[in-house]
Amino acid sequence: MTTNEVFYGKIILFGEYGIIFDSMALTIPFSHFHGELSFDNKNNKYKYTDYDFALNSNNQLREYAANLSNLSSNVSKGLDLNLEAFQRDLDEGLYFESTIPQGYGLGSSGALVAALYNQYANNKIEGVRTISKSDTLKLKEVFSTMENFFHGKSSGIDPLNSYIKFPLLINSKTDIETVGIPRNKFDSNAAIFLVNTGKIGKTEPLVNLFLEHCKNSDYLDSIKNEYIPLNNKCILHLINGEMDDFFKCLTILSAFQYRSFSDMIPEDFKGYWKDGIDSNYFNLKLCGSGGGGYLLGFTTDLPKTQQYFNDQHVDIVTVYKS
| DSSP symbols for 67-136 | HHHHHTTTS-TT--B-HHHHHHHHHTTEEEEE-SPTTSSS-HHHHHHHHHHHHHBTTPPP--TT--HHHH
Q: What is the pTM of this model?
A: 0.88
Separation of alpha carbons 145 and 3, rounded Å: 24
- Reported confidence tier of residue 150, pLDDT bands at 50, 70, 90: confident
Three-state secondary structure call for residue 226: helix
The three-class DSSP label of residue 48 is coil
The lowest-confidence range among 198-207, 211-220, 221-230 is 198-207
Q: Let me know: does 19 contact 170? Beta carbons within 8 Å.
A: yes
- Residues 6 or more apart in contact with residue 59 via CB below 8 angstroms: none
Q: Where are the alpha helices (DSSP H) in the chain?
A: 51-71, 83-91, 108-120, 133-151, 157-164, 203-213, 217-222, 228-239, 243-260, 270-279, 302-311
Alpha-carbon distance values, 66 to 60, 90, 119 (Å): 10, 12, 17
| Residues forming beta bridges with residue 196, ordered by sequence position | 294
Residue pLDDT, tens place only, 239-257:
999 999 999 999 999 999 9
Split at pLDDT 50, 70, 90, the class of 298 is very high
Residues 180-204 have pLDDT tens digits of 888 777 778 899 999 999 988 888 8
| Cα 283 versus chain centre, distance | 19
* pLDDT reading at 41 higher than 90: no
- Mean pLDDT score across all residues of the chain: 90
Tell me which amino acid residue 170 is.
Answer: I
Q: What is the spatial distance between Cα 160 and Cα 137, in angstroms, rounded to a whole number?
A: 9
- 10 Å CB burial of residue 110 (0-12, 13-18, 19+) is buried
Mean pLDDT of 217-241: 96
